[in-house]
Chains A and B, each alone.
Chain A
Amino acid sequence: MATEALALDGIDALYGDSHVLHSVTFSLQEGHVLALLGRNGAGKTTCMNAIIGFLPARKGEIRVFGERVGRLSPEAIARKGVGLVPQGRRVFPTLTVKENLIVAARGKNQLDHVFELFPRLKERTEQHAGSLSGGEQQMLAIGRALMGNPRVLLMDEPSEGLAPLIVAEVGRTIARLKAEGQSIVLVEQNVKLAFDLADEVAILNTGRVAFAGPASAARDNESLITQHLGVF
């Protein structure tokens, strides 16, 4: 029996008065990739925000390797081993590439590992992150998350707004991290990329889990895909 790396159990979340997550439940096994899919506004990013603690859940429980983290602050959750590659990348623009990485460092030094994954970052260590290209910023955002030795890596649309060539590179990076045993939650609009990488899939529709199960079962279920994800 594999270890449960991350679990959401009956999560309700609200922005002001609008109810955006309804009793969301899914879990990720250690070393697996879980793709969190759904249309725009289905609540994927909200799930990420709930896990990292930006938007504390009203109800339900979030566990990281069995430990409840639902009431903790984002910095405490990060220290429990959750790494976030946020939507829109959100690198620290006025910091250099190297500073972006070292401010996130915790535990074993991952700087060499990150530079090995992304040699491009190594060439630009002293450059301000705000002046990087979108693809480079995405690499930096991923590298920054890895600096904290995360036990669970949350990736929110890492392919968004990138050229196809870069998307492929990001896909290879995720595949490599998976091969190294990293547990990953991957939010994607790029359904093909997601299915290529995922072991399990959770599909959200208007804040509810419409499907949760093995990726192979979802991939072959055409009506499920057309109903909740659109055609691809």
Chain B
Amino acid sequence: MLFLLAAGFSLIFGLMRIANLTHGALYMLGAYIGVSILKTVPNLWVAAILSGLVVAVFGGLLEKLILRRLGGNVLGQVLVTLGIAFILADFCLVVWGGDPIPVPTPAFLQRPVRIAGLAFPAYRLAVVIIAIAVGIGLFLFVEKTRLGAMIRAGVDDRDMARAVGIPVSRLFTTVFCLGAALAGAGGVIGGPIMSAYPGLDADMLPLALIVVILGGVGSLVGAFVGSFITGFVYTFGVALLPDLAYVILFLPMILVIAFRPRGLFGKFAA
């Protein structure tokens, strides 16, 4: 689940070099929209896809109308996206209220699954499988398709890519939409585990940042490995040393920054 969040973030941050701090808020927005959709269509997967689409449209507008004008102004991007994150958080508070809204787990995934004598909640297992499938899909898209190569060309040398006829701006808007969609759908799919509550955005954004910093900016493999490390560390940290959960969470990140500033699989220095 963390991977869905981090993959979108890594896609935007790594490929487009946009520090998109709305990512946590997009995740929360996705979760809430999913909740609303579930009231009329009681199917989590449909809700995840629809919610992802809605959030993608929102992300696309955000990129086209606001972020593109900021160009390479990193500080501007950080401030604007942080501001929009606050606006989104308040918007969610107004529309959906302050109480946590649980998201029901699909019925057929409620039983635990036994693997090698250990019981796993079936839903979490399903989420892991989805994350792996999305990861493989994204990897193939970015690394093996012509469109993916065009995106990478745009990242390598934006002007030159335009000079060979690649519509870089349009492609980057699409990538931003894709990242936002992953966040939105992730919010819904993560719903049965996390539910939807005010402050979800602020809980998720640091996790996304840690995952991406751990794994390395712009690396999907890194995002995948980073999300596993972070997931394990966080879960065990909370269970074993609840007082130090955040310390344990940030410790690997600090170590990685200190000894391998590019992240475990990163191409660029973060």
Taking Cβ atoms with an 8 Å cutoff, the residues of A that contact B are 52-54, 73-75, 78-79, 83-84, 86, 90, 92-95, 99-100, 102-104, 106, 144-145, 147-148
CA distance A147 to B157 in the complex (A): 18
A92 near B167 (CB under 8 angstroms)? no
In the complex formed, the residue of A with least CB distance to B168 is: A75
Determine the residue in chain B with the shortest Cβ distance to A130. Answer: B156
Give me 15 other A-B pairs in contact (C-beta within 8 A), A74-B159, A75-B162, A103-B150 excluded.
Answer: A52-B163, A53-B163, A73-B162, A75-B163, A75-B166, A75-B167, A78-B162, A93-B156, A95-B149, A95-B152, A103-B146, A103-B161, A104-B164, A144-B164, A145-B164
A54 and B163 contact, CB distance less than 8 A? yes
Evaluate contact between A102 and B164: CB separation under 8 angstroms.
no
Residues of A within 8 A of B167 (CB): 75
B165 interfacial by beta-carbon distance below 8 Å: yes
**How distant is the Cα of A102 from the Cα of B161 in the complex, in angstroms?**
12
Partner of A94, one of B156, B159, B161, B168: B156
B153 near A74: Cβ-Cβ < 8 Å? no
In whole angstroms, what is the CA distance A164 to B262 when docked? 39
Does the CB pair B164–A95 fall under 8 Å? no
Across the interface, A78 reaches (CB within 8 A) one of B146, B155, B164, namely B164
Number of interface residues of B (CB under 8 A): 19
Q: Which of A54, A86, A104 has the most CB of B within 10 A?
A: A104
Contact A102 B146 (CB under 8 A): yes
Cross-chain contact A102 with B149 (CB below 8 angstroms): yes
Q: What distance in Å separates the Cβ of A165 from its nearest Cβ neighbour in chain B?
A: 27
The residue in chain A whose Cβ has the minimal distance to the Cβ of B162 is A74
Closest residue of chain B to A98, judged by CB?
A: B149
A-B contact pairs, 12 of them (CB 8 A): A52-B163, A54-B159, A74-B162, A75-B167, A75-B168, A78-B164, A92-B160, A99-B149, A102-B149, A103-B161, A103-B164, A104-B166
Q: Tell me whether B69 is interfacial, beta carbon within 8 Å.
A: no
Minimum CB–CB distance for A1 against chain B, Å = 30
Closest 10 CB pairs of A and B: A78-B165, A104-B164, A74-B162, A99-B149, A92-B156, A90-B160, A92-B153, A75-B162, A84-B163, A103-B150
| Shortest Cβ distance from B144 into A: residue | A99
Q: Is B111 an interface residue (CB 8 A)?
A: no
Residue of chain B at shortest CB distance from A144:
B164
Whether the Cβ atoms of A78 and B163 lie closer than 8 Å is yes
Residues in B whose Cβ lies below 8 Å from that of A94: 152, 155-156, 267
* B contact residues around A79 at 8 Å (CB): 165
B168 close to A103 (CB less than 8 A)? no
Interchain nearest-CB distance for B14 vs A (Å): 12
